[in-house]
């Protein structure tokens, strides 16, 4: 049998099974409505979770972009200092990072698409639930009519299919988000371990270490000069500040003395 | 005829589109049976595109059941096989235990 027909029968079987077990459709209408509202909450949370994952991937892309830029600078720096071996290493590392970046880009696009679709599904279900809410009151009022029974069944099956669809969509979103979080966690670890960044946890990247050694002499001189300037700029202010406080205290003390005397 | 694309809602399609869908459904069925992901994706994308292009979205205040349900547009053979095998749909849509 055809795939599309089989899938539709699975959905219908679920609704039919529930309908068969209904004793008082009026009560079940209310209970079903409650379930629908819960499903709406779930799908909205699902949208928020996907958005969080998307933002996390975006942050990682920014971090990787910075690293890629750094490797590029290092390569130029190394070439300028005649160290082609270092430049090569930096560029090799850059290519690796670019591969990871491309992977994140794909993930980002997938999450964005999923977020859009889930948002639309949530809006669709919301509209259906609102209609169901008003319709169920009419159905309850006319429940005695045989025609009402048919309409109850229709409304039930219709909303059941929508709920099943949204339920599957949320489950997929949750699965995908979990997968991406695992991968995102791996990249976070990589970033934090110092494999990507310099000077984190004492794990210095060797390209930068070599470049630092080459430029160490001038760097130290520059740093000394900078520190001297900083000290020269802040020192007078501190002395001024202390002086002012001292004068204030003295003034207060002399006022006190004047008061005692009188 | 009413066709649902999972994750995208219901669409009303005319007889002409329905006939084309039936043909694509044979490809889907063969791909699921043989486990060929590429053929499955191609047939699924064609079916989804056909419904999106020629179908009219069913109004939100209309409660109808679909004659045909297409899997999620990015579904894999494995995923569809699993759905067809256990027939499990998450969420208690009707509220009964």
Q: What is the pLDDT of residues A86-116, one digit of tens each?
A: 899 889 889 988 988 999 999 999 899 999 9
pLDDT mean across residues, chain A: 80
Chain-chain contact of B91 with A39 (C-beta, under 8 angstroms): yes
A36/chain B closest Cα distance in angstroms = 7
pLDDT mean across residues, chain B: 89
| CB crowding A66-102: b at 16 or more within 10 Å, else e | ebbebbeebbebbeeeebeebbebbbebbeebeebbe
Query: Is the pLDDT reported for residue A256 higher than 80?
Result: no
- Chain B residues closer than 8 Å to A43 by CB: none
Query: Is the pLDDT reported for residue A244 higher than 60?
Result: no
* pLDDT reported for residue A238: 53
Chain-chain contact of B72 with A164 (C-beta, under 8 angstroms): no
Going by pLDDT thresholds of 50, 70 and 90, the confidence category of residue A213 is confident
Going by pLDDT thresholds of 50, 70 and 90, the confidence category of residue A82 is confident
Please answer whether residues A15 and A142 qualify as being in contact, where contact means their C-beta atoms are separated by less than 8 angstroms: no
What SS3 class is residue B11? strand
Going by pLDDT thresholds of 50, 70 and 90, the confidence category of residue B32 is very high
* pLDDT reported for residue B97: 34
- Chain B residues closer than 8 Å to A171 by CB: 90
Query: Is the pLDDT reported for residue A239 higher than 90?
Result: no
* pLDDT reported for residue A224: 76
> What part of A 13-32 touches B (C-beta under 8 Å)?
13-15, 18-19, 21-22, 28, 31-32
Q: Of A8-17, A181-190, B7-16, which range is least confident?
A: A181-190
Distance CA A12, CA B59 (A): 20
Query: Is the pLDDT reported for residue A68 higher than 60?
Result: yes
Going by pLDDT thresholds of 50, 70 and 90, the confidence category of residue A204 is low
Chain-chain contact of A7 with B70 (C-beta, under 8 angstroms): yes
Chain-chain contact of A2 with B7 (C-beta, under 8 angstroms): no
Q: What is the DSSP letter of A203?
A: B
Of A26 and B1, more confident: B1
Of B72 and A256, more confident: B72
* pLDDT reported for residue B95: 39
Of A188 and B13, more confident: B13
Query: Is the pLDDT reported for residue A59 higher than 60?
Result: yes
Going by pLDDT thresholds of 50, 70 and 90, the confidence category of residue A142 is confident
Query: Is the pLDDT reported for residue A242 higher than 70?
Result: no
Query: Is the pLDDT reported for residue B75 higher than 70?
Result: yes
* For chain B, counts of helices (H) and of strands (E): 3, 4
Q: Which residues of B touch A (CB under 8 A)?
A: 3-4, 6-10, 21-22, 25-26, 28-29, 32, 47, 60-72, 80, 83-84, 87, 89-96
Chain A interface mutation, best of B26, B72, B91, highest count of A Cβ atoms under 10 Å? B91
Residue B56: closest CA among B14, B21, B6? B14
Query: Is the pLDDT reported for residue B91 higher than 60?
Result: no
Distance CA A196, CA A225 (A): 30
Percentage of chain A with pLDDT > 90? 29
Query: Which among A6, A127, A158 is the nearest to B64, CB-wise?
Result: A158
Query: Which among A28, A132, A164 is the nearest to B89, CB-wise?
Result: A164
The tokens describing A71, both together, are 């490797």
- Chain A residues closer than 8 Å to B28 by CB: 2-4
B55/chain A closest Cα distance in angstroms = 16
Chain-chain contact of A168 with B4 (C-beta, under 8 angstroms): no
Strand arrangement of the beta sheet that strand B56-57 belongs to: B56-57, B9-12, B2-5, B68-70
Chain B interface mutation, best of A4, A24, A162, A173, highest count of B Cβ atoms under 10 Å? A4
Query: Which among A11, A34, A168 is the nearest to B95, CB-wise?
Result: A34
Q: Of A15-24, A225-234, B3-12, B29-38, which range is least confident?
A: A15-24
Query: Is the pLDDT reported for residue A188 higher than 60?
Result: yes
Tens digit of each residue's pLDDT (9 = 90 or more) over A144-187: 667 777 788 888 888 889 999 998 999 888 888 888 878 777 77
Rounded to an integer, what is the distance from CA A36 to the centroid of its chain? 27
Q: Of A35-39, A130-134, A214-218, which range is least confident?
A: A214-218
Going by pLDDT thresholds of 50, 70 and 90, the confidence category of residue B49 is very high
- Could you tell me the pTM of the whole model? 0.73
Give, rounded to a whole angstrom, the gap between the first and last alpha carbons of chain B. 32
Query: Is the pLDDT reported for residue A220 higher than 70?
Result: no
* pLDDT reported for residue B42: 96
Going by pLDDT thresholds of 50, 70 and 90, the confidence category of residue B90 is low
- Is any Cβ of chain B less than 8 angstroms from the Cβ of A41? no
């Amino acid at each position: 049998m055809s795939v599309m027909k089989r899938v539709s029968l699975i959905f219908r079987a679920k609704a039919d099974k529930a309908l068969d077990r209904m004793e008082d459709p009026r009560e079940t209408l209310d209970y079903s409505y409650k379930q629908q509202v819960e499903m709406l909450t779930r799908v909205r949370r699902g949208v928020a979770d996907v958005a969080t994952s998307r933002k996390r991937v975006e942050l990682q892309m920014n971090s990787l972009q910075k690293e890629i830029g750094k490797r590029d600078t290092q390569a130029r720096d190394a070439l300028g200092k005649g160290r082609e071996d270092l430049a090569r290493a930096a560029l090799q590392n850059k290519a690796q990072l670019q591969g990871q970046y491309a992977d994140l880009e794909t993930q980002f696009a997938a999450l964005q698409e999923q977020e859009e679709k889930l948002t639309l599904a949530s809006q669709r279900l919301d509209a259906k639930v609102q209609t169901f809410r008003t319709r169920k009151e009419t159905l309850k009022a006319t429940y005695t009519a045989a025609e009402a029974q048919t309409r109850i069944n229709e409304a039930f099956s219709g909303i059941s299919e929508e709920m099943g669809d949204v339920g599957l969509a949320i489950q997929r979103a949750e699965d995908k988000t979990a997968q991406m979080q695992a991968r995102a966690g791996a990249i976070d670890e990589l970033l934090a371990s110092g494999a990507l960044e310099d000077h984190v946890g004492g794990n210095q990247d060797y390209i930068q270490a070599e470049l630092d050694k080459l430029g160490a002499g001038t760097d130290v001189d520059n740093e000394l000069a900078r520190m001297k300037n900083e000290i020269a700029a802040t020192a007078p202010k501190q002395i001024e500040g202390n002086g002012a406080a001292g004068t204030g205290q003295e003034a207060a003390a002399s006022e006190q003395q004047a008061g005692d005397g009188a | 005829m009413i066709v649902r694309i999972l994750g995208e809602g219901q669409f009303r399609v005319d007889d002409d589109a329905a006939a084309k869908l039936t043909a694509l459904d044979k490809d889907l069925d063969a791909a699921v049976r043989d486990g060929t992901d590429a053929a499955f994706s191609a047939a699924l994308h064609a079916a989804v595109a056909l419904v999106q292009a020629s179908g009219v979205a069913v109004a939100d205040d209309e409660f109808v059941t679909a004659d045909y349900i297409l899997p999620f547009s990015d579904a894999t053979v494995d995923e569809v096989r699993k759905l067809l095998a256990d027939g499990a749909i998450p969420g208690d849509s009707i509220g009964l235990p």
